[in-house]
Structure 1
């Protein structure tokens, strides 16, 4: 039976626990069993050893979100799952700083990622967390910032007198002995979305982090909704009210990656905006980033590329020429075939294809199952070549009107 989060944190909040944790190198799964035995033989209690190894593992996982800062922070499993990546938290903090906000309440601060980013910009931060163990972690994580205070309290019960900005990251998961489970209803979040709207009604600058799958009809009127993608992974939609929302922006897709940041915005509501023409599969196929799709900006990107949609309900774009864009991945179209498993299996065999990448939209098929079907019995031979001459291919399965098609493409 796994230990409760508090049992994994309390032993670390001692001089022995903190020193032992600091003495460990990067966590390695293949060394964990031996290290466990070594630490126990050195006289450390089983509870402390378990807590230290768990924390070491979480710190290693957290480096993807927090970089080198993770090495001196405390984490819980559930807290790390929901924690904002540090580069995204910095974007949140910039909003408040640029709006001239001086004191921000981080309600539902979790492990303190956003509070850390806010405090690093010299803003006064009151970080509020209802879970005692998570609040203890946030207190440790914010020790370097004297301008940040952690309050163990219900976010809806804290006085906001003198506070001109509010950031909320509502809890969207429930935790039990079997792990965490995602909640989908915004009114079941803690605190609920309606609470954030009530704060915005007071005129304060309010920002709210929501899950990226938030339906458009759940986005409140009068706010800016910005979907954020990090390295192609859509991480959140943030809602911005009052002075932290941008004039003339109703929805946006912000992409953060190795090449920097790129953003596309629209002043139109979700049922407005331009429409793109529909046309054949030709030239180049573009696969929009998930944030672009979530924000309903596929048509905007299609027009920017001088292209068209394959189907008005499916997020694939085609254009006659290759255009550089951060908002979609480009593929050269090689061949368009009807979707027929028997015929496609012959195509795979004749071309000696042994590695097959399958993408799909608008079709109720499972790429893994289709791949198994198409590669079944294929020994790698092909016309014009010997056995063993392997070949990689990419197939895009989709609909064009009523027709189901398989498009052979080559990544650019």
Structure 2
């Protein structure tokens, strides 16, 4: 009974935020950016070092039941962010219960040496392709565990269903269901062998890319057929997914439709290769992988300012990631008003735990000025925040500075 009271109190506070005029206005701002008719830039904060965020007892878990404790953690983190560093975060007006999904895998497992840290871990990957080639890879078999999903849905529904709707949600097409061929290969070969392979064994590397592209397409079509895609996702990984396009209909929940969700592509390891090699080994396959989707968001941590022209080949491209290692002036000029510029401010400025407001102001003003000059729709996404050196206040200060600047 105590667990239920804890969850109900949190759910009531969540409902108040989700149904607020503030949340409705943020949704309107998100859609305007992704529709390429920006009202003002939006600011998002994600991948937060939650282990360093405790300032009182707001994040302290009180539920004993494992299922309710999991929901409690999610609600406490959402409400903490809503209170202290909301920026332009948006909330669905329901509690989502994730569908329980199983996969048989793609035929190989990562072999690595791992040093685990509190927030992030260090990985040294070993090459699993030393003796075998792409033929060892195969498409997974995806299954939906209706029984376990139903159990969790009923439990959450009984606890809070009279406060706000409880809804089954599938997998969002962000990183988990994104086409990350070369991120996958990097974990199966290691970075050095991958990069040398592009030069020394191009046919072998093309074989891997071909096989993994086929596996990606097979996988997302299984998700579509089994209705396991989150058709109402508000985010595509850490970026906004809200748009006036791809209008959903009631039947889309029962019969998923890839044309009404975002596709995501990335090739982070290709930060180290030329535009020509990037086009040959990734874009060539990405064009096929992204064709089924309504809109496409491309990029992650790889600098793309010198590669906008090759990205334009990707069908349905709508958003491009521009990282701290890219020249935002060049990127904004080449992107213009045709795509959303997803700007990624440098999270390392928070690592010392001291808010350097002037440096943050300089960096964000530079990004915003480049986008204003070139009529770009822009979102600022602070992510990969590995540490705030035990001082969450510097993250709160970053949010205040960013919100002040986008309001100008």
Give the structure-2-normalised TM-score: 0.24
Determine which structure has the larger strand proportion and give its number. 1
Give the structure-1-normalised TM-score: 0.24
In our comparison, the structure showing a higher alpha carbon Rg is 1
Highest relative contact order (Cα 8 Å, sep 6+), 1 or 2? 2
Determine which structure has the larger helix proportion and give its number. 2
